[in-house]
Every structure is written in structure tokens, then in C-alpha cells.
Amino acid sequence: MDAILLQILNGIDKGSAYALIALGLTLIFGTLGVVNFAHGALFMIGAFVAVTVGKVLEISKITLDPEKTDFLGNPAKIKTPYITEWFGDFGFWLIEWSVLVSVIVAIPIMILIGVIMERGLIKHFYNRPHADQILVTFGLAIVLQEVIKAVYGANPIPQSAPDLLKGSVDFGVMIGMAENSVIYPLWRLVYFCFSVLIIGGVFAFLRFTTFGMVVRAGMADRETVGLLGINIDKRFTIMFGVAAAVAGLAGVMYTPINPPNYHMGMDFLVLSFVVVVVGGMGSLPGAVAAGFLLGILESFASMPLIKDAIAAVGLPSIDQIIIYLIAVIVLLVRPRGLMGKAGMMEE
């Protein structure tokens, strides 16, 4: 029981990232009908917003301490971040919680990047073949990735979670199980809660606001909504920004789990596509459900017990490829995906 729970927990942090990226991809595909190969790059940019915020907060004034010397006999340098000098304890608090600061900073930045991307580039590709849309966003993904590489270097840059949220939590005790049965890193739990919050936010936004209602109507029948005198293009542009922000936030919060590097976007992109396909192209709940499902399945497939069971049947271990395998099976058996609309992808 506890082993199963642990595997589920191990799966949900990656699953959360998949779900968030796939949600953004689906939003873009559902509204604008574009497959955004640069979406992984947006995830990566979000992570690097966190890196930048962390660095900016730690810009320090260097003062010389005349009383101490380092091993060369020079006066020792003391670094005091400007922000602590200006704000005192609040400054320290900001540095400590830089991830949260990054979340706040990332939202407007990512929305802006998304809107610029849509207005500046993707807008011109609506009347071009699908292959061209894929190609140009693929090119954009390469460019964004290489710009980040040129600025931040090729090595991963570790980011730390706030002290309060570091370490592990005994999850088993929280739900009334024996002590030390299910130990789980606290930040991953935070990541899961955060992603649920974001996903809930996006759904509530679409469900309960007039803006969201119009967007949903536009997803169902763009032409009619346009004929009713609503500027649906503008709303879809904003939705592109929202999708970019969702990916960016997923990236920001992922930094303490995995040190960001320039190719993390491409690594997640392929899996997110698979998630979208399994969930059903254009279905938001499908994308989220498939994201978590595949994350958890991936974690289960790497469980020793299951591995042994598979080996006992004489099959090779499948933990590396289970996600792709499921995608292939879904496409062959139920091409519209788990929750896709009838007719979707069945051409």
C-alpha cells in the first residue's frame, strides 16, 4: 500500500509539469489551431526567469573587511546584497523566497512573450499549411533555446527552494499511516498543489468569466462568434499569453526540482505532445488527466515490483518507453484520445 502511494507521489510531480505544459499546448491548439513546437521553450524561459530573478536579488555590494584577511593576505570581501541593505529583513526574506518572487515576475513577462509571439509571428501563419506552422515554431524553439544558451551557458544552474519548504515530509503520518513509510520531498508536494491551483484557476477563468465564456464559444465556432461582432482574435491572442504564462510558471516552480538547463524545454516538449495526444487533441480536461496519468504510469513502470513482474512474463523492461507505448496504443485503438471530441484526430 505505502509502496503504491509512494509511486503515485513520485509520479505526480512530473505529471504536474506534463499537465501544465499540455494544458497550455491544448489551449493554443484549441483556440488558434496551431501546434506550438516552441511551447517547451516557453517552459524553459519560465525556469530562466527564476534564475534571473534569483541573480538580480543577489546582486551584492562588495565591501572590504579590514580586520580579516583571506589566505593571500588581502582584506576579506564581504558581500551584502543591495536588497538587504535597502529593505533589511524583508530583503533577506525576498532572497529566501526568490521562487515566489519569480512567480510574480514571470506572469507578466510570460504573457508579454506569448502575446508578442502570437502577434509578431504566429498570426502570419494561420493561412499557411500546418507543416509551415510546425516548422516556424520549431525554428523559434531552436532560436530561443540557443539565446538562453548564449546568455546563461550550457550548464544547469541549480536553484534552491526556500528553507521552510526544503527537506522531506513524512506523508504517511499525515494520512494516518505508520511513520517513515512514505517520505516525500516537500517541494514536490508544493509543486503538485501549485499546479492544481493553476489548473483550477485556468478552468475557473474559462468557466465562470464572461471572457472565458466567449473564448469557449470561439473554440466551438470561431466564425459565428466573430459574426456576432466580438473581436475573437484579440481574445485568442490573450489566451496565447495565458498559455505561455502557464508554461512559464510550470518552469519557474520546477527549478528547485531540476536545475534548469537550456535543453529542458525540448526534453519536455516531446512528452507533452504525447500527453496531449493521449488526452485528446483540443480537450483541456483530457490534457490534464493524461498528464497526471502518464506521470504516474511512468513512475509505476519503474517500480522494482512491476519490473520483476514484467520480467517474469518474459517481456523486456518498459519503464523508459511506457509513455510512448501508451500513446501508440491509444492512437491505434482510440485515435481521438481519452477525452477528445468525436472526429478529432480521426482523419
Partner 1 sequence: MNLMKDRLLLIIFAAVVLAAPLIFAPTGAAYPDLLQRFAIYGIFAIGFNILFGLTGYLSFGHAAFLGVGSYSAVWMFKLLSMNIVPALLLSIVIAGAFSLLIGYVSLRRSGIYFSILTLALAQMSYNLAYSVLTPLTNGETGLQLRLDDPRVLDAAGDAGSLPSTNFFGLEMKEVFWNPTIFGYDLQFNWGYYVCAILLIASFWISIRIFRSPFGLMLRAVKTNQTRLNYTGINSRPYTLAAFVISGMFAGLAGGLLASMDPLAGAERMQWTVGGEVVLMVVLGGMGTLIGPILGAVFIKYFENIFSKINDGVLHGWFAIMPEWAENAMVLIISPFVGKGWHLTLGALFMLVVIFLPGGLVDGAKRIGRVVTGANRRAAKVGIE
Tell whether residue 321 is a contact of partner 1 (CB under 8 A): yes
Region of 137-145, 183-191, 236-244, 253-261 interacting with partner 1 (CB under 8 A)? 137-145
Tell whether residue 115 is a contact of partner 1 (CB under 8 A): no
Tell whether residue 156 is a contact of partner 1 (CB under 8 A): no
Tell whether residue 317 is a contact of partner 1 (CB under 8 A): yes
Alpha carbon 149 to its chain's center:
19
Would you call 271 helix, strand, or coil by DSSP?
Answer: helix
User: H/E element holding 185?
Assistant: strand 183-185
> What letters, b where the CB count within 10 A reaches 16 and e where it falls short, cover 177-203?
eeeeebebbbbbbbbbebbeebbeebe
In sequence order, what are the residues at sequence separation of 6 or more whose Cβ sits closer than 8 angstroms to the Cβ of residue 180? 170, 172
Among positions 277, 290, 296, 301, the unique one binding partner 1 when judged by CB under 8 A: 277
Of 148 and 189, which CB lies nearer to partner 1 in the complex structure?
148
> How far is residue 274's CA from residue 8's CA, in Å, rounded to a whole number?
20
Tell whether residue 124 is a contact of partner 1 (CB under 8 A): yes
x-marked contacts with partner 1 along 256-275 as a string, rule CB under 8 A:
----------x---x--xx-
Among positions 82, 93, 97, 138, the unique one binding partner 1 when judged by CB under 8 A: 138
Locate 151 and state its grid cell. 546568455
265 closest CA partner among 148, 130, 150, 152: 148
Q: Mind giving me the DSSP string for 51-79?
A: HHHHHHHT-EEEEEEEEEE-TTSSEEEEE
Among positions 82, 115, 324, 338, the unique one binding partner 1 when judged by CB under 8 A: 324
Tell whether residue 100 is a contact of partner 1 (CB under 8 A): no
Tell whether residue 167 is a contact of partner 1 (CB under 8 A): no
Number of residues that bind partner 1 (CB under 8 A): 45
Residues near partner 1, by CB under 8 A: 35, 121, 124, 128-132, 134-136, 138-143, 145-147, 149-150, 154, 266, 270, 273-274, 276-277, 281, 316-321, 324-325, 327-328, 331-332, 335, 345, 347
